[in-house]
C-alpha cells in the first residue's frame, strides 16, 4: 500500500518517457532516500593509483570491504571538515580595528573556506564539489584517499584529531564498521632516482632541523629567534607493499642518515618523541612524522579505539 501511495501518479518505467524520467520522478518522492535531509551521494571511487606528489591517507580494511571502507571514510572526513570549519569560524567584533586580531580572523576564515572545499560531498549533484579522491589499489585491504593538490590541510593532524575523538569516546559520530588503520601521508615521491632521499629533504627538516641561536639570528636578524627544533628521540617505522627491490634496512639507514644531518637526535624505538612513518607501495614512497601519542592512540587504529568504548567487536569486525 505504501509503495502504491509513494509512486502514485508516476509514469510507468516501460512507457515512452522511459526509465530516466521514471527514476527522476521517483526521486522526488518524499520517501526516496535523496529527499532525506542527511542524504549523501555515494562518493566516486577510482583505481587511478598513487602518484608522485600525492598527499592523503592510507586506510586499511577487511578483505573485500575496501570500497565500503572508502565510502565510510569519505563520510567521516565530510563530517570532520564540517565540524572543523564550524569551529574555526569566528564572528568579527563590530568595533574591531585593523589589528593583529583582525588578521587572525582573516586567517581563520581562509582555513574555514579551505576545509569547506575539502568536503567529499557537496550540494552539487554533478559531483563537481567532490575534491577528495577515493582510490582503490591492486592489493587487498589497503586503499587511499587523495587530498587536493596544494591543500594546506595536514593529513597527520586530520588523522590525529579523528583518532583522539574516538579515544575520548566521542559518540556524536557513528561507529565505523569498515575502517581499520589510518596512515597519514604528508607527501609521495617516486622510489627511483633517489626518491627517498628527495622525500627526506622535503619532509624531515620541518621536524628535525636544529640550528644554533647564532645561525638562526643570522637568518632572522629582525627578531630573537630560538633554534628551530631541539634534539629529540626518534624512531623509524617502514611498511613495504608490492615492492621487492627496496630493502627495509636500506630505508631505515637512508632516513636515519637524513635525520642525523639535521641535528644531534638519538634513536629510541620505544620512548620516541617523534616517529617517522615510511610507506612504500610499488614504485612510490610516502612519509609522515607523528608524535609520541601514536602508541597511545593504538597506532591510529580506529577500530581498536572505538572497540575500547563500544565493547567487543562483532565477529565480522575483528581486526
The three state secondary structure string of 96-164 is CCCCHHHHHHHHHHHHHHHHHHCCCCCCCCCCCCCCCEEEECCCCCEEEEECCCCCCCCHHHHHHHHHH
**In this structure, are 88 and 203 located in the same domain?**
no
* 214-261 pLDDT tens trace: 455 455 455 443 445 799 999 999 999 999 999 999 999 999 999 999
pLDDT of residue 236: 98
Res. 35 pLDDT band, cuts 50 70 90: very low
pLDDT of residue 149: 84
CA 254 vs CA 84, 132, 202, 281: distances in Å:
37, 32, 14, 17
Residue 279, strand partner residues: 239, 286
* 164-209 pLDDT tens trace: 999 998 777 767 899 999 999 999 999 988 999 999 999 999 999 9
* 48-105 pLDDT tens trace: 899 999 999 999 999 999 999 999 999 999 988 888 877 665 544 444 444 545 555 5
**In this structure, are 62 and 156 located in the same domain?**
yes
**In this structure, are 205 and 276 located in the same domain?**
yes
User: Which residues make Cβ contacts (< 8 Å) with residue 148, sequence separation at least 6?
Assistant: 117, 118, 131, 132
pTM: 0.72
User: For residue 114, is pLDDT > 60?
Assistant: no
Q: What angle do CA 306, 300, 184 make, to 5 degrees?
A: 135
Total of domains in the chain:
3
**In this structure, are 209 and 265 located in the same domain?**
yes
**In this structure, are 102 and 147 located in the same domain?**
yes
Positive or negative, the Cα torsion across 196, 197, 202, 207? positive
pLDDT of residue 27: 54
**In this structure, are 109 and 215 located in the same domain?**
no
Domain range enclosing 249: 189-300
Res. 300 pLDDT band, cuts 50 70 90: very high
In this structure, the strands spanning 133-136 and 45-46 are parallel
pLDDT of residue 201: 97
Extract the runs of DSSP E, i.e. beta strands, from the chain.
45-46, 56-60, 133-136, 142-146, 182-185, 187-190, 233-241, 266-267, 274-281, 284-291
Q: Distance between CA atoms of 79 and 90, rounded to whole angstroms? A: 19
Q: State the CATH number of the domain containing residue 265.
A: 3.30.2300.10
**In this structure, are 174 and 207 located in the same domain?**
no
Amino acid at each position: 500500500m505504501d509503495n502504491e501511495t509513494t509512486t502514485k501518479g508516476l509514469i510507468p518505467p516501460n512507457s515512452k518517457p522511459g526509465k530516466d524520467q521514471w527514476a527522476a520522478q521517483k526521486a522526488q518522492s518524499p520517501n526516496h532516500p535523496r529527499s532525506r535531509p542527511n542524504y549523501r551521494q555515494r562518493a566516486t571511487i577510482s583505481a587511478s593509483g598513487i602518484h608522485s606528489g600525492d598527499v592523503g591517507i592510507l586506510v586499511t580494511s577487511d578483505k573485500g570491504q575496501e570500497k565500503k571502507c572508502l565510502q565510510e571514510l569519505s563520510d567521516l572526513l565530510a563530517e570532520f571538515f564540517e565540524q572543523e570549519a564550524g569551529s574555526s569560524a569566528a564572528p568579527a567584533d563590530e568595533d574591531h580595528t585593523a589589528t593583529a586580531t583582525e588578521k587572525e580572523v582573516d586567517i581563520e576564515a581562509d582555513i574555514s573556506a579551505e576545509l569547506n572545499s575539502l568536503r567529499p560531498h557537496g550540494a552539487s549533484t554533478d559531483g563537481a564539489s567532490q575534491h577528495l579522491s577515493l582510490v582503490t589499489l591492486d592489493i587487498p585491504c589497503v586503499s587511499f584517499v587523495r587530498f587536493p593538490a596544494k591543500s594546506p590541510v595536514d593529513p597527520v593532524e586530520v588523522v590525529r584529531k579523528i583518532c583522539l575523538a574516538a579515544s575520548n569516546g566521542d559518540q556524536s559520530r557513528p561507529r565505523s564498521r569498515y575502517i581499520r588503520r589510518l596512515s597519514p601521508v604528508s607527501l609521495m615521491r617516486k622510489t627511483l632516482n633517489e626518491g627517498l632521499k628527495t622525500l627526506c629533504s622535503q619532509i624531515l627538516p620541518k621536524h628535525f632541523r636544529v640550528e644554533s641561536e647564532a645561525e638562526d639570528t643570522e637568518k632572522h636578524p629582525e627578531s630573537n629567534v630560538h633554534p628551530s627544533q631541539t634534539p629529540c628521540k626518534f624512531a623509524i617505522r617502514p611498511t613495504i607493499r608490492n615492492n621487492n627491490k627496496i630493502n627495509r634496512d636500506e630505508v631505515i639507514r637512508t632516513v636515519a642518515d637524513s635525520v642525523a644531518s639535521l641535528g644531534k637526535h638519538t634513536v629510541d624505538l620505544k620512548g620516541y618523541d617523534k616517529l617517522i612513518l615510511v610507506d612504500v607501495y610499488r614504485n612510490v614512497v610516502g612519509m609522515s612524522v607523528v608524535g609520541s601519542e601514536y602508541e597511545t592512540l593504538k597506532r591510529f587504529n580506529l577500530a581498536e579505539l572505538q572497540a575500547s568504548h563500544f565493547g567487543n567487536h562483532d565477529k565480522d569486525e575483528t581486526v
